[in-house]
Amino acid sequence: MTWGSAGVATALVCWGCAGGGGSSPAAPASYDPESVSFAAELGVDLAAMEMTPSGLYLQDLTVGEGFTAQRNSLVTLHYVGYLPDGTVFDSSLGGEPIRFRLGGNEVIRGWNLGISGMKRGGVRRLVIRPSLGYRGQAKGRIPPNTTLVFDVQLLDVR
């Protein structure tokens, strides 16, 4: 993946803030990352990733420097979102980066959890189970109960 000029974020903007309460059904265990076959080109190796208590998998590809993103930080980043089969369903590359308040229910819960702790300039891979994404709801090209893979680059933290 190449990090160039950014693009408009659409798929991650809070759509019913899918990580919160909501009425969507819980994702069956078969949809969790441990049961998913990831396309080889994604380079997802769950054994090499950290699993947080929430079940989010993350891996720092580049550790940034300077300020650390934390709850209530205003963050600006580029991202590429993939389905497990390697299909890109959304990207900010080639357009404007996305900017949001971390923990402000503006994006899916997996992003709020996965971007927290990143430093400016860092690149992180996130594997987000359905319960931290869109759960049983379809969202554009994302089917219900889909594990999502994101590569995110933190451009700025305030």
Catalytic residue among 57, 82, 100, 134: 134
Question: Does residue 31 have an active-site annotation?
Answer: no
Clarify whether 90 is annotated catalytic: yes
Per the residue annotation, which of 31, 57, 100, 108 is the catalytic one?
A: 108
- d(CA 49, CA 40) in angstroms, rounded, equals 16
Handedness of CA 66, 67, 69, 73 (dihedral sign): negative
Active site residue 108: yes
**Of 24, 42, 22, 25, whose CA–CA distance to 33 is shortest?**
42
Catalytic residue, chosen from 31, 57, 82, 150, is 150
**Annotated catalytic residue: which of 79, 82, 115, 142?**
79
- Asked about 89 being catalytic, the answer comes back as yes
Q: Is 60 among the residues known to form the active site?
A: no
Which of 38, 90, 142, 151 is catalytic? The answer is 90
38 labelled catalytic: no
- 65 three-class SS: coil
Q: Report the catalytic residues.
A: 79, 89-90, 108, 134, 150
